[in-house]
Structure formats: C-alpha cells, structure tokens
Amino acid sequence: MMKQNNLLTSGCTWALMMILLLDGQAAWSGKLYKWVDENGKIHYSDSIPPEKLKQEHQVINRQGITRETVSAAKTKEELAKEQAAAREEARRLALEREQAQQQAARDRILLDTYLTEDDVKASRDRRITALDASIRIAQGHQNELTERLDTLRRQAAEAERRGNGLEPIKKQITQTKTQLKEIQALIAQKRLEQQQIDRQFQKDLSRFRELMARRKTSNREPAGKPSPR
C-alpha cells in the first residue's frame, strides 16, 4: 500500500484515485491536502510541508471533493495595510459620533432658545442691525479720515509751491492713509460677519423647522385612537 505521506503531482491524477481506492472508504479517514509548489505544480498528500502551510491550499475529502480552502497567510505589508484601514475606520466612526453629539447639542440649544420661526428671524435681525450700527460709525470715521487726507494733500501742494518743508505733512499723510486702511478693513470685516450670520441663521431656521416637524409628528396620536374627552 502506498504510504500516506507520499506527494502526488497533478500529472498523476490517477494516484489520487489510487489512494482513495486502495485505502478504502472504511480504512481511510484522514485529510488529503492539495497544494501548489513554487514551480506551479499541483500536489496531493496526506500532510503538507511546513513551509507550505502559509500559502493557499485545499483540504479534500475521500470522494475527492474540496472540503475547505485555507487562504494564504497575509504578508507584513498586507497586515500593515489592514491595520491602517482599521485605524482610519475607527477615526471615521469617532468623528461621526462627535459630530452627532455636537449636532444634538446644537439642536437642544435651538429648541431651548426659540419657540417659533419668528423668534429665530428676530434674533438674526437684531445681530445684523447691531453690526449695521457699527458699520455706520466706522463709515463716519472713514469720511472724516478721507476729508483729512484731502486737506493734508492740499496743504502739501501749497507748502511745495511756497518751498516750505514737507516732511511734517508727509508724515501726517502716511498716518492718515494707514488709519483709513484700517477703518476700511474693519468695515469689510463687519460686512463679512453679517453675511456669515445670515448664512448661519438660514441653516438654524431650516434645522428648527425640521426639529419642530419631528416634534409635531412624535406628539401626534396614532391613527384610529379616539381623542380623550
């Protein structure tokens, strides 16, 4: 009888049949492995070389049917890639949880702060109006600086015609220009804040409507249930 630990190649398929026939269904109850060597040849054996355990192979039953396919062991690079993917997924889930918690907190603030849509709009209008007042004050200062700059330029032209020293006036012109740029930047910043507030309140208003609709739906009685008298 052929020893069970002999290796059989794909070129000798009849050898597989001989193992099954000679051992007999009653006598042979072990495992038969199918694996491929480094030259691409298929082998059958009742044991598998230790160095081949990490590569893909199949376990075959006595009828020659594959019972199990053992996947090849992952390389260090594959394991590292899987671990990196797992860490990335964990970060993504953590971020989603954090965002959900933040949204829940914002929702509570909306519902605790406003009772109606008009309340949301009124709050927006108050903040924009407050910025309008700041802008008007800044614009008044801007007009004053513009007038001062024009005056200084006229004085500089007159001093130049008379041959007087221009250094003090030039210094004042430079300072006034700097102040004018600063006030213009302030006005631009206030207008940007107004736009940001309007966009944020549009989102808040949309979210408030959604939350109120949910609350209304949850408070609605089930269909067919009689109203209490």
**What is the per-residue pLDDT across 166-216, written as a single tens digit (0 to 9) for each?**
888 999 999 999 999 999 999 999 999 999 999 999 999 999 999 999 988
User: Minimum mean pLDDT among 34-43, 140-149, 151-160, 162-171: which range?
Assistant: 34-43
* Residues forming beta bridges with residue 43, ordered by sequence position: 9, 35
User: Looking at residue 72, what DSSP letter applies?
Assistant: P
Phi, psi of 223 (to 5 degrees): -60, 140
pLDDT number for residue 24: 44
Residue type, 55: Q
pLDDT reading at 21 higher than 90:
no
State the pLDDT confidence band at 5, using cuts at 50, 70 and 90: very low
Identify which has the larger pLDDT, 116 or 16.
Answer: 116
